[in-house]
Structure formats: C-alpha cells, structure tokens
A and B are shown apart, each in its own frame.
Chain A
Amino acid sequence: MEAVLHGLPAAPPRLPGAAALIGLAVLLLAVVLLATGRGAVAIGPAQIFRIVVHALGLGNRTGFSDQQWAVLVTIRAPRVILAVLTGAGLALAGAVTQGLFRNPLADPSLIGVSSGAAIAAAGAIVVGSAPALHLVAPLRLAVVSCAAFTGGLLAVLLVRRLASREGRTSLPAMLLAGIAITALAEAGIGALSFVSNDEQLRNITFWRLGSLGAASWPLLAIVAPVVILGALRLLRLSASLDAYALGEREAAHVGVDAQRVKTIAIIGSALVVGALVSVTGIIWFVGLLAPHVVRLLCGPGHRLLLPACALLGAILVTLADLAARTLVAPAELPIGMLTAFIGAPAFLMLLRKRRRWSE
C-alpha cells in the first residue's frame, strides 16, 4: 500500500513517556483531592488532610466537624477509591482488548462480559425479590452483585469455548460469538423486563445505567483485591500486545505464546470488568475513550499505553462521578448516562482527528 503522506513531520508529536505518566499521576492526585472535597457537604483540603491524619491514628480529632468526618470516611473516601479503581480497570481492560483484537473499536463488552453480567443481574433482581425467598434488602444487593460477576465470567468462558477448537482460540470467531451472546443476553433482559413488575423494572434500569453510590469499605475489601491483582497481571502484557500488533501469526514467530496471552488477556479483562460491573452496573465508553486519547498523545506502544490508560481512566471516572453527584444535588445522575453523553461526542471528535495520523 503506497501511503507516503507528505507534509507530516518525521518524528511523531508524542509526549515523552515519563513526562506523560508523571503528568497523569499528578492530575489524578489533583482530581482525587477535588472529588474528595466536593459534594453536598464541602470539605476543604486542609480538613481532608487532618481527617486522613486522624483516621490513620496520627493526629487528634480537631479542625473538622463530625459531619465532615462522617461524610469523608464513610461515604466519599470509599466512593472516590471505587471511582479510581473503576476508571483504571475499565480503561486497562479496554486497552488490552483493543490490543488483542487489533481493533481500536474493541471493548471488553465485545467478549460478552458486560451483557453476561447485565442479564445475570436482571435475573437476580427479578428472582431475588420473589416474596417466597424472603430476602432482606442488603442480602438482595449481594446476590445481585455475585450474580453479575458470575454471569460476566460465564459469558466470557462460553464465548471463548465457542471460538476455540483443539485448544486454539480464534479471535475473529470470538468477536462473532461475543456479538451473538450479547444479542442473546439483550433478548433475555428484554424478556425479564417484560415479566417484571414496576419495582423490579426500576431496579433493572437503575442497575444498567450505572452508579457508584453503593461504595463502602466492606465492598471495597472484596472488589479491590480482584481488580488490583487483575490489573497488575494485565499490565504485564505490554510487550506481548505490541507483538500482537504484527498480527497473531507474526507475533507467534517473534516468540509470543499466543494461546497463553489470549487466555490471560481475556480472563484477566473479564475478572476486572466483571468485578467492577457487578458493583457499579454498566459504565459506557471509558474502555473505548481512554485508550484512544492516550494513543493520540503518547503513541500505541503498550508499555506506556497501559499504565497511562489506567491513570486517565481513573481521572475520567472520578470526574464523571463528581459531576454525577453534584450537578443535581441532592439527587444523583446515573454515571453511565453521563459517560455516554460526554463520551460519545468526544469519541466522534477523536475519530475525526485520528484519521489524519493513521490512514
């Protein structure tokens, strides 16, 4: 393909790697401070510092009100931490999926994890509220989360099974199987919505729009280890994903254990996304948008792309959650709706810009 594009500079206008990562980390810290301080109850940076110091057992209980303490420690801190984990996890899984499928439009939802989680959650909502089961509300929530996580994982395993023969998984077949499973799950959710009563329908819709409102320390204790361990494992795929850019066959020539990389990438993404989706519901676009922006700024090399994506994703979701809980206070906007509203036009703008560089 003759594609000599004249007029473009010789070296790509990329940010140097270290600078980008440090810049993103600093930005994340600033955003976290901002998000921790803003909300229905205002808490200044000095008070945040004193509260944290006291919580760690170092300072004494002065300089902040009881109300600020309660809000920060029991509500905002777990929520901001969940936002950081969610953004990092979704963006990382998105970048890994895009690298594996060599398609910048790929998203973990393509391999079925989101729809699998959604239909399992919908089913749990409908079944869990059956009077015969006598499930008390907090237990119902736990049931829905467990169901969502299991459903997401099962869907991915099913998709992988459908696309594998004799121990080798075909990525194009995976995409097709993922699309089919997603369609099936959507039909199932439609059927469940049809037979559900008003309250169940409301819960299903609420869940699908996404929200970080359920964040709490016990919840984080369960979700955080899965997400962090999964993310760390995914980060180590950088070199293999760069090799995958050559195509699966060439990657194998260069020394990549294709089957192993596919397994780790797919299962790892499914675990991270499944754990997050089970707690927050579906949050659109982060997995698609963050990698795109990072590629535009820093190039496609995965050693920089993956950590940068994690940082940028964390920043995006923390900001989105801040907007979700402050724009219409005391009510909250569903965060999935916000990210879709902002993410879709931003994505289209990025697509226009991107064509200059890649085609």
Chain B
Amino acid sequence: MSWALLRALAAGAALVCGVCTGAAEAPQRIVAVGGVVTEIAFALGRGDRLVAVDSTSTFPDAAKALPRVGYMRTLSAEGVLAVDPKLILATDDAGPPSALAQLRSAGVPVVSITAEHSFQAVLAKVHRIGEALDAEGPASEMERQLTVRWRQTTARVAALPDRARVLFLLAHSSNNLLVSGTGTAADAMIRLAGGVNALSGFSGYKPLTAEAAAAAAPDVLLITREGVAQLGTDHIWTQPGLALTPAGRNRRLVSMDALYLLGFGPRLPEAVRDLADQIHRS
C-alpha cells in the first residue's frame, strides 16, 4: 500500500470522524448577548443556531428578526431561560452579575467574550466564539483575512498627513449629553483612526460642560447615527460651548452606526478606515 493512499485514507477517516463528532457536539439553541457576539456568530455561519439575542444585536439584518431577551446590562435570568437556551455567549460587560450567576446555577453554560477595545481583542473574540460554536475552521480563516485587511488599514492611517482632534458625544437623553474621556471604545477608535481625543483628563463618560468643550477645541464631533436620530443635528450645535469649537464653527460632524463604530467586531478594519477618512476630510 502506498503512502499516498494511506494519507488519503487517514484524511478521509479524520474527515468522517470530524463530521460525526462535529455533528454530535455542535451546540444548538444559543443566546448571544452583545452586538458583536451576534455579528461574529453570523459571520462564522452559525447564525441559524441562535434562538435569541440582546437588544444591541443589530447586525446583520437576520439578527434583527430574532427574539430579544432585553438590554445586555440589565438581563433577567428568567427572561433568558424562557427561550430554553443550551449555551449563552455573552460579552464581559453583560450584566447584572447576579443574572449571569443564576443562569450558571440553572445549568446553562455562559461563555464570556472579552470586551476589550483593540484589534487583538477582535481576533480573540473570533477565536473564542469559533471555539464555542464548533466553527474553528471558519474562525481561523476569518482571523487570517482580518489580519490582512488590518495591515492595509494601519498602513493607510499611518500615511495620513495630520491628526484631527475629535470629541465623541454620547446621547444619554436629550438633555443629558455625555462626552468620552480615555478608556472607552470611542477613545480607542479615535486613536486607531489616527486622531486625537480632544478630552484626555479623565476616563469613562462625563457630562458635557461648555467650558470643557471650548477648552478641548475639537476639530470634529463624533457621534453614533442613533445619537443623531435621537437628538437632531440642530440640537447638538445649540449645546453651549460646542458652537464655539472649531468643529462647531465649521459644522464638522461625523456620525456612524453604533455597532459598526464601537463594536470592535469583524468589520473593525473597515470601520477604522472609514472613520479615518471622515475625520480627516478637510
């Protein structure tokens, strides 16, 4: 018997075994918590295994058709259990912790997906979700392609001539605008896109004050598309202090879809490139 035939037989056996064990292990009835988790699950071809998602899962369109279990930070254990899940994939910042603990006590495994804001984190998310959904093959392929596209994006960003000062606005409610300091997803995106966060003295989100905005003197305002829809561009420009900034004088406002901009998912290379293009457009 030739080595070629043996190798072919071994490969065939492995394939058959892989299919068999894969079919036995492939988890069904999955709940995904976190927009990026849902996005990756669908991208890996496992969207059909999801039975419910959280309210931040807005991409792809197929995800919008799935039943919702609530907002990812205020889950109700019983609400999640009602859909009879066998596995839960949740980002690290899903909560409250007591709900996740109750789900675990109820016998449903909860896989935690990192919520860090970096390209390495995106690779880790893809890897972990691929592992959990028995899609290691597609996951490795996706990681490879992501790395290629990322290199292209970073090269493009490095070639930018200047660095725009960007202020990110979070619309909590119409009379409660928050701005982002360091340590947030928005801050990370701004830096990755070759910009400078106009506010750097604090971490997290703080309420917008006129003086702080004027002192920050951003060239561009960054906000999510959902935020614009909630506030209206006119309302934004009438905020005290914003009108006095370079961004206000030139009416430079960039808005992008929330999950696309801040999700740190498989579309990160494109999102960074788009953001870099838009904030540096003069």
Contacts and interface: CB of A to CB of B under 8 A. Distances in A.
B161 interface: no
A52 B204 CA distance: 47
Nearest to B74: A331
Contacts of A202: 73
A213 B76 contact: yes
B178 interface: yes
A278 B205 CA distance: 27
B1 to A, nearest CB: 50
A75 interface: yes
A141 B76 CA distance: 17
Contact of A197 (B99, B101, B105, B204): B204
Contacts of A74: 77, 102, 105-107
Interface in A62-121: 66-67, 70-71, 73-76
B98 A75 contact: no
A325 interface: yes
Contacts of B95: 137
A221 interface: no
A140 B151 CA distance: 39
B269 to A, nearest CB: 28
A330 B108 CA distance: 18
Interface residues of A, number: 28
Contacts of B106: 70-71, 73-75
Interface residues of B, number: 33
B78 A198 contact: no
Interface string B52-87: 000000000000000011110110111111101000
Contacts of A206: 74, 96
Nearest to B205: A198
A278 to B, nearest CB: 13
A239 interface: no
Contact of A213 (B71, B99, B203, B206): B99
Contacts of B109: none
B97 interface: yes
B203 A75 contact: no
B249 interface: no
Contacts of B74: 206, 331-332
Nearest to A217: B105
Main secondary structure of the interface of B (DSSP, over half): mixed
B203 A197 contact: yes
Nearest to A42: B82
A11 interface: no
A232 interface: no
Nearest to A196: B204
Main secondary structure of the interface of A (DSSP, over half): helix
Contact of B81 (A41, A216, A332): A41
B102 A40 contact: no
A70 B108 contact: yes
Contacts of B69: 330
Nearest to A198: B205
Which residue, of A75, A198, A214, A330, has the highest number of chain B Cβ atoms within 10 A? A330
Contacts of B78: 39-41, 71, 75-76, 325, 330
A75 B77 CA distance: 7
B225 interface: no
B172 interface: yes
Contacts of A57: none
A219 B28 CA distance: 32
A257 interface: no
Contacts of A329: 76, 79, 82
Nearest to B84: A67
B79 A70 contact: no
A9 B261 CA distance: 74
Contacts of B102: 74-75, 216
Contact of A330 (B80, B97, B101): B80
10 contacts: A40-B81, A74-B106, A137-B95, A138-B97, A213-B76, A216-B101, A216-B105, A325-B76, A329-B79, A330-B68
Interface of B: 68-71, 73-74, 76-82, 84, 95-99, 101-102, 105-108, 170, 172, 178, 202-206
Given A213-B96, A214-B98, 8 more contacts: A40-B82, A67-B84, A75-B78, A198-B206, A213-B99, A216-B101, A330-B69, A330-B80
